[in-house]
């Protein structure tokens, strides 16, 4: 069964600090891995996407890494801002024909305090 | 780029009442469309997906149904809501094989 596990479940950090969120998956073979940011009460918004051949991708202060051998990904947030407070969701899309149903992690809730 | 319109944003309905949530997509044609539910503190659960007009696949048995009367319209319905239907409902669209998913802003449904 395809699974995506994220840790920690929740995280509180001070503004300006860095943090790293983890994502472990069992989806195999997989097509791509995405990190989404979901503000409270809103739909998720894509931050990064990586295929199995990529091991790092940056989007501003967000840097995602991928180790396809260990099936692990991380999202590193640098110099956190109050607006980074949100849920961060790891999504892995399997490599197969048809509709490419992705597997979603439960997300990490990040709170940035001033 | 794709834009998804989803409404209403918030809905409070009594148990046993019907439900209709609508989602429309702009900026693309023949997208795959999805309905997800997100319970508090839980991940997104895929409810239905559609690869074309009139084509609906259900991922989990439940009290809900979906329809796709037009290429860029996806509707989530129920004849009689249950308390367990409460949650945050998200419509998503995907076009092509390389792109990601675009999500609507969601509907917060509370069944009382």
pLDDT digits (tens, 9 = 90+) for A87-114: 999 998 887 654 567 888 999 999 999 9
For residues A45-50, give the mean pLDDT.
Answer: 90
Give the Cα separation of B82 and A74 in Å (integer). 38
Interface test with A, best of B41, B43, B105, B107 (most A CBs within 10 A): B43
Those residues whose C-beta lies under 8 Å from the C-beta of residue B22, and which sit 6 or more positions away, are B6, B7, B73, B74, B75
Positive or negative, the CA dihedral B90, B44, B63, B29 is positive
CB-CB under 8 Å, A34 with B100: yes
Burial class from Cβ neighbours inside 10 Å (0-12, 13-18, 19+) for residue A62 reads middle
CB-CB under 8 Å, A41 with B57: no
Task: Give chain B's residues under pLDDT 70.
Answer: 61, 95-100
Give the Cα separation of A29 and A31 in Å (integer). 7
User: Residues A88, A108: contact at Cβ < 8 Å?
Assistant: yes
- The Cα of A100 is separated from the nearest Cα of chain B by a number of Å equal to 9
pLDDT value of residue A98: 47
pLDDT value of residue B16: 95
Residue B100 near chain A (CB below 8 Å): yes
Residue A90 near chain B (CB below 8 Å): no
Q: What percent of chain A has pLDDT over 90?
A: 65
CB-CB under 8 Å, B43 with A107: yes
For residues A76-97, give the mean pLDDT.
Answer: 89
Cα A1 from chain centroid (whole Å): 20
pLDDT value of residue B30: 84
Closest CA to A88 of A54, A48, A29, A56: A48
């Amino acid at each position: 069964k395809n699974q995506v596990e994220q840790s920690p479940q929740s995280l509180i950090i001070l503004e300006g600090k860095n943090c790293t969120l983890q994502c472990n998956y069992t989806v195999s073979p997989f097509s791509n891995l995405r990190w989404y940011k979901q503000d409270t009460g809103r739909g998720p918004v894509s931050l990064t996407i990586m295929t199995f051949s990529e091991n790092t991708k940056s989007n501003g202060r967000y840097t995602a890494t991928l180790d396809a051998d260990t099936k692990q990904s991380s999202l590193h947030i640098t110099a956190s801002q109050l607006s980074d407070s949100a849920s961060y969701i790891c999504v892995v899309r399997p490599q197969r024909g048809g509709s490419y149903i992705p597997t979603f992690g439960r997300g990490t809730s990040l709170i940035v305090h001033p | 780029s794709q834009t998804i319109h989803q409404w209403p944003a918030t809905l409070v309905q009594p148990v046993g009442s019907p439900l209709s949530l609508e989602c429309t997509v702009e900026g693309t044609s023949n997208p795959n469309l999805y309905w997800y539910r997100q319970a508090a503190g839980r991940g997104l659960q895929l409810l239905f997906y559609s690869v074309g007009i009139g084509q609906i696949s259900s991922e989990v048995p439940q009290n809900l149904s979906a329809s796709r009367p037009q290429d860029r319209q996806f509707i989530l319905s129920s004849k009689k809501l249950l308390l367990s239907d409460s949650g945050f409902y998200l419509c998503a669209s995907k076009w092509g094989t390389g792109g990601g998913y675009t999500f609507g802003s969601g509907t917060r449904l509370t069944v009382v």
